[in-house]
Structure 1
Amino acid sequence: MSSVFLRFSVGFHAARRSVRGVGCLRDKRLWGNFGPQVTAGALQQTPGRTYATNIKAQDSTTVKKFDAEDENEILEKIKNIFAEEERSGHVVPVFKKALLHGNKVAIKDQINEYTYHRLYAAAKRLSAQISNLCGSGSNARVTFLCPNDALYPVVQWACWFSGQVAVPLSTRHPTELLKYFVKDSESTLLITTPEYEAVMKPISEALQKVLIVIDHTFIPEIDAQSFILDPKNENVVRMAGQWNIEGVLSADFYGKSDAMILYTSGTTGNPKGVVLSHKNVNAQVNCLTDAWQFSSKDCLLHVLPLNHVHGCVNALMCPLSVGGKLIMQDHFDSHNVWSALLGINTPTKDRVNMFMGVPTIYNFLIDEYDKIFAKNSRMVEYIQNHCEKNIRLMISGSAPLPNTVFSRWYDISGHRLLERYGMTEIGMALSNPYVEDKVRQRKPGTVGLPLPGVEIRIADGDNKTLFTCKGEGNKGFWAKDEQPVYTKKPDSKSEPIIGELQVKGPNVFKEYYNRPEETKKEFIDGYFKTGDIACYDDGSIKIMGRSNVDIIKSGGFKISALEIETHILEHPSIKDVAVVGIPDDTWGERIAAIAVLRPNFELDLETLKVFCTDRVGKYAVPSVLKIIDEMPRNAMGKINKRDVIRLYFGQPQKQEAATSKATDPASENKSTKSTSSSEPTDNESKKSTTTATTEKKS
Structure 2
Amino acid sequence: MTLDEICRRNGLRFPTKPALIMGERELSWKALDTRVDRLANALLTQGLKRGDFVAVLSANAPEFIEIYFGLARAGLIAVPVNYRLTANELAQILGHARPALLIVAAAYVDKARDLEPLLPGLRRWVIGEAALADAPRYEQMLAAAADTPVRSPAAETDTFAIFFTSGTTGLPKGAMVSHLNLSANGFNQFVADGSVRTDINLVGTPLYHMGAVFMAVTYMMLGCTQVILEAFDADQWLRTLARRRCSVALLVPTMINSVLNCASLGEHDLSSLRLIFYGGGPMPPAVLRRALDKLRCSFTQGYGLTETLEASFLVASDHVLDGDEKQQKRLASAGREAVDAEIRIVDADSRDLGPGEIGEVLVKSKSVISGYWGMPEETANTIRDGWFYTGDLGYLDEERYLFLVDRVKDMVISGGVNIYTKEIEAVLYTHPAVLEAAVIGLPDDQWGEVVTVVAVVRPGASLSEEQVIEHCKAQLASYKKPKLVKFVAELPKNPSGKILKRELRKSL
Please give the TM-score of this superposition, normalised by the length of structure 2. 0.78
Aligned to 1:28: none
Question: Which one of the candidate residues 209, 214, 224 is aligned to 2:127?
Answer: 214
Structure 1 residue 373 displacement after superposition: 5.8
Question: C-alpha offsets along residues 60-81 of structure 1, whole Å, 9 cap, x if unaligned?
Answer: xxxxxxxxxxxxxxxxxxxxxx
SS at match of 1:534: strand
Task: List runs of 5+ in structure 2 lacking aligned partners.
Answer: 130-136, 141-145, 413-420, 430-434, 470-482, 500-508
SS in 2 for 1:294: coil
Retained in 2: the 8 A contact 1:274–1:425?
A: yes
Counterparts of 1:280-429 in structure 2 under 5 Å? 280-314=181-215, 316-341=216-241, 343=242, 346=243, 350-368=244-262, 371-372=263-264, 387=270, 389-429=271-311
Pick closer, same or farther for the CA change 1:92–1:133 going to 2, 3 Å.
Answer: closer
More displaced 10-residue stretch of structure 1: 407-416 or 353-362: 407-416
Note the C-alpha offset of 1:326: 1.4
Deviations 1:371-419 (A, max 9, x none): 4466xxxx6xxx7xx64x5321112221111111111112212235332
**For residues 26 and 5 of structure 2, what CA distance do their matches in structure 1 show?**
22
Q: Given the alignment, which residue of 395, 406, 410 partners 1:545?
A: 406
8 Å contact kept, 1:423–1:687:
no
**1:522 corresponds to which letter in structure 2?**
T
Compared CA separation, residues 118 and 267, structure 1 to 2 (3 A): closer
Ranges in structure 1 where 5+ consecutive residues have no aligned partner: 1-85, 221-232, 236-245, 468-494, 552-579, 595-630, 635-639, 666-671, 689-698
Tell me by how many angstroms 1:179 deviates.
Answer: 1.4
Alpha-carbon distance between aligned partners in 1 of 2:168 and 2:198, rounded to the nearest angstrom? 42
Q: 1:477-556 residue pairs with structure 2 within 5 A? A: 496-539=356-399, 540-549=401-410
Partner SS, residue 33 of structure 2: helix
**Partner residue of 1:431 out of 313, 318, 336:** 313
Q: Secondary structure at the match of 1:211?
A: strand
- Alignment-derived partner of residue 450 in structure 1: 337
Q: How does 1:231-270 map to 2 (within 5 A)?
A: 246-250=149-153, 253-264=154-165, 269-270=170-171
User: Is contact 1:124–1:161 with CA below 8 Å preserved after alignment?
Assistant: yes
Aligned to 1:112: 25
Q: Which amino acid aligns with 2:85?
A: H
1:108: how far off?
A: 0.9
Amino acid at match of 1:272: K
**For residues 215-255 of structure 1, what are the alpha-carbon distances to aligned partners after superposition, in whole Å with 9 as ceiling and x for unaligned?**
399669xxxxxxxxxxxx966xxxxxxxxxx32224xx323
Normalised by the size of structure 1, how large is the TM-score? 0.58
The verdict on how the C-alpha distance between 1:503 and 1:99 changes in structure 2, with shifts beyond 3 A counting, is same
Q: Counterpart of 2:353 in 1: which secondary structure?
A: strand
User: Does the alignment pair 1:465 with 2:352?
Assistant: yes
Looking at structure 2, the residues matched to 677 and 660 of structure 1 have their Cα atoms a distance apart, in angstroms, of 12
Report how far residue 655 of structure 1 moved: 5.5
Quote the residue 2:90 is aligned against.
Answer: 178
Cα distance in 2 for residues equivalent to 1:206 and 1:460: 44
Separation of aligned partners in 2, 1:512 and 1:319: 27
1:185-226 CA distances to partner (integer Å, 9 max, x unpaired)?
111110012121222233145312000112399669xxxxxx
| Residue from 589, 598, 612 that aligns with 2:438 | 589
What corresponds to 1:4 in structure 2?
A: none
| C-alpha contact (below 8 Å) 1:107/1:327 kept by paired residues | yes
Residue number in structure 1 paired with 2:506: none
Kindly report which structure 2 residues correspond to 1:548-627, keeping only aligned pairs within 5 A, or say none.
Answer: 548-549=409-410, 583=425, 585=429, 586-587=435-436, 589=438
Q: Could you say what secondary structure the match of 1:645 adopts? A: strand
> How many residue pairs align between the two structures?
447
AA in 2 matched with 1:397: G
Structure with the larger RCO, 1 or 2 (CA within 8 Å, 6+ apart): 1
Tell me by how many angstroms 1:184 deviates: 0.9
- Range with bigger deviation, 201-210 or 255-264: 201-210
Letter in 2 for 1:500: E
What is the match of residue 191 of structure 1?
A: 103
The structure with the larger Rg is 1
Quote the Cα distance in structure 2 between the aligned partners of 1:191 and 1:656: 38
| Contact residue 308 and residue 687 of structure 1 kept, 8 A | no
Matches within 5 A, 1:84-233: 93-100=5-12, 101-137=14-50, 139-207=51-119, 208-215=121-128
- Supply the distance in 2 between the matched residues of 1:263 and 1:644 (Cα, whole angstroms): 30
- Given residue 150 of structure 2, which amino acid in structure 1 is its aligned partner? G
Within 1, Cα distance between the matches of 2:151 and 2:285? 48
1:458 and 1:363 map into 2 onto residues whose CA distance is: 30
The answer to whether the Cα contact below 8 Å between 1:105 and 1:115 also exists between their aligned partners in 2 is yes
Q: How many Å separate the matches in 2 of 1:656 and 1:686?
A: 15
- Aligned-pair CA distance for 1:676: 4.8
Deviation at 1:285, TM superposition (A): 2.3
- Name the % identity: 22
Match of 1:481 in 2: none
Q: Deviations over 1:443-471 (max 9, x none)?
A: 3211111112111111223212236xxxx
SS in 2 for 1:549: coil
